[in-house]
Amino acid sequence: MTATTDEKLASAADVKLALTGETKPQLSKEERLALINVNLAEVLNPEIIEKVLDEGRDPRIYWGTATTGRPHCGYFVPALKIGQLLAAGCHVVILLADIHGFLDNLKAPIELVNYRAQYYKFCIKSILEAVGVPTDKLEFVLGSSYQKSPEYIMDVYKMCSMVSEHDAKKAGAEVVKQSDNAPLSGLLYPILQVLDEEYLKVDCQFGGVDQRKLFAAAKEWLPRLGYKERAHIMNPMVPGLQGSKMSSSDPDSKIDLLDAPEVVAKKIKKAEAAPGVTEGNGLLAFTEFVLLPAAALYGDGEFHVDRERDGLPPLVYKDVAQMHADYQNDVLTPQLLKPAITKALTALLAPIQAAYQASKEWQEITLKAYPPEEKKKKEKKVKNKGSRYPGAAKGAEGAADGAAAEEGKAAAPAQ
């Protein structure tokens, strides 16, 4: 399900009104649904959300993130969607899934998960504030705050008895790291995520399309324990700078929230962007799903591309369709697009980095959550000098002769 350009523009205006505290007539059911659905790739069981609205309740929706690698600029995509959900009057829960991070092939060592969860909270709050989303409307929940309870653990055991190894692997195929002879924890990961929907008491879960198999499993598994189905809404996955999925574990595919401006410029300059090709173009996708929506929230909604060096007026975009058309027709080139993205992204990251510099607590948590790797000192190799070392052969021979002589004395009969 995708929104039209008119829906995107209308929803951007509604989001701005809601997030700046300005009032407007109460949104109708149709307007709220339009905000919930805008820019989504797919919705499973939309009738569940419609029923909640018909009951006069605000939909309770959760988005979870496993606290593993450092959050990057790809996190702006769900942050902007969360802003739209808040504008639609939804109650949004952000799950800091610390235990999930440990279960996913030990991506987050158990000693570090608590620190990483704190680091993620700092990052997510600063991202939301950078795009004008007030964090006082959000509920942050730490996974371990309820996932160790007797009731939750008993439900994990029950679900383990009902779900096959094949189905658990299939559900987590796009989310949990797959490897030969993988640890058993990888099979538990999807079971926990499914149960989270019940224990967070939500109507809907929000995530990327890479979680679709897991969402489909939740629809099937929860009723086996007597729990109700939930709706699921999915945003598209934004390609990384090298065309693949933007990932914390691949430094070349993403830009860290705390990367210095010169690092941002260098990474964008190296990004793959074939002239005229829009499919799988990470720079165009980042502009569509981050820079344009962000500009609609805290700016004039425009993305500017400077052409001063060519003696031409700037290109100004509010519509990604026009940007794609210009890119395909070589009006907008990679050489023009990259500096424009660098400038816009640097401005977007500035308040986040200022918040980091102003927070001693955040800086201390960073060192605890991601301690610098200790450089191993090179061990000095002891050379095997052999028998050619001056005096070594003579000494060795002398020692051998002496030993032989003593042995001969011991063996000789007494005179």
Whether the pLDDT of residue 330 is over 80: the answer is yes
Q: What is the pLDDT of residues 352-368, one digit of tens each?
A: 999 999 999 999 999 99
Q: Which residues of 119-130 are buried (b: 16+ CB within 10 A; e: fewer)?
A: bbbbbbbbbbeb
Q: Which pLDDT score, from 0 to 100, does residue 139 have?
A: 94
Span of 250-259, 264-273, 305-314 with lowest mean pLDDT: 250-259
The CATH fold of domain 5-235: Rossmann fold (3.40.50)
What lies within 8 Å, CB to CB, of 129 at 6+ separation is 135, 351, 355
| C-beta separation of 163 from 221 below 8 A | yes
Which residue, among 187, 214, 185, 191, has the nearest Cα to 106 in the 3D structure? 185
Whether the pLDDT of residue 104 is over 90: the answer is no
Q: Which pLDDT score, from 0 to 100, does residue 297 have?
A: 77
Which residue, among 333, 309, 335, has the nearest Cα to 323 in the 3D structure? 333
Whether the pLDDT of residue 37 is over 50: the answer is yes
Q: Which pLDDT score, from 0 to 100, does residue 383 have?
A: 64
Q: Which pLDDT score, from 0 to 100, does residue 239 have?
A: 80
Both structure tokens of 195 = 């149960």
Report the C-alpha gap between 47 and 99 in whole angstroms.
Answer: 32
Q: Which pLDDT score, from 0 to 100, does residue 404 have?
A: 47
Q: With cut-offs at 50, 70 and 90, classify the pLDDT of residue 32.
A: very high
| C-beta separation of 218 from 191 below 8 A | no
More confident residue, 8 or 374: 374
Q: Which pLDDT score, from 0 to 100, does residue 184 have?
A: 85
CA-to-CA separations, 150 to 154, 156, 157, 181, in angstroms, rounded:
6, 10, 11, 30
The CATH fold of domain 261-369: Tyrosyl-Transfer RNA Synthetase (1.10.240)
Report the amino acid identity of residue 208.
G
Q: Which pLDDT score, from 0 to 100, does residue 108 have?
A: 67
Find where tokens 């009723």 sit. 223
Q: Centre a 10 Å sphere on the Cβ of residue 254 and count the other Cβ atoms it contains.
A: 26
pLDDT above 90 coverage of the chain, percent: 57
Report the C-alpha gap between 31 and 33 in whole angstroms.
Answer: 5
Q: Which pLDDT score, from 0 to 100, does residue 252 have?
A: 60
Q: Which pLDDT score, from 0 to 100, does residue 133 have?
A: 81
More confident residue, 13 or 122: 122
Task: Write out the residue limits of the CATH 1.10.240.10 domain(s) in the chain.
Answer: 261-369
Which residue, among 215, 214, 213, has the nearest Cα to 233 in the 3D structure? 215
Whether the pLDDT of residue 9 is over 70: the answer is no
Q: What is the pLDDT of residues 44-88, one digit of tens each?
A: 999 999 999 999 999 999 999 999 889 999 899 999 899 889 889
Q: What is the pLDDT of residues 180-190, one digit of tens each?
A: 777 888 889 99
**Mean pLDDT value across residues 199-206:** 98
Report the amino acid identity of residue 241.
L
Q: Which pLDDT score, from 0 to 100, does residue 17 have?
A: 56
Task: Write out the residue limits of the CATH 3.40.50.620 domain(s) in the chain.
Answer: 5-235
Q: What is the pLDDT of residues 211-259, one digit of tens each?
A: 999 999 999 999 999 999 999 999 988 887 766 555 555 566 689 999 9
Q: With cut-offs at 50, 70 and 90, classify the pLDDT of residue 413.
A: very low
Q: Note the pTM of the prediction, 2 decimals.
A: 0.80
Which residue, among 245, 143, 133, has the nearest Cα to 189 in the 3D structure? 143
Mean pLDDT of the chain: 84
DSSP string, 110-148: TTTHHHHHHHHHHHHHHHHHHTT--GGGEEEEEGGGTTT
Please count the residues of the chain. Answer: 415
Whether the pLDDT of residue 399 is over 80: the answer is no
Most distant pair of Cα atoms in the chain: their distance? 125
Whether the pLDDT of residue 2 is over 50: the answer is no
Whether the pLDDT of residue 350 is over 80: the answer is yes
Whether the pLDDT of residue 280 is over 50: the answer is yes
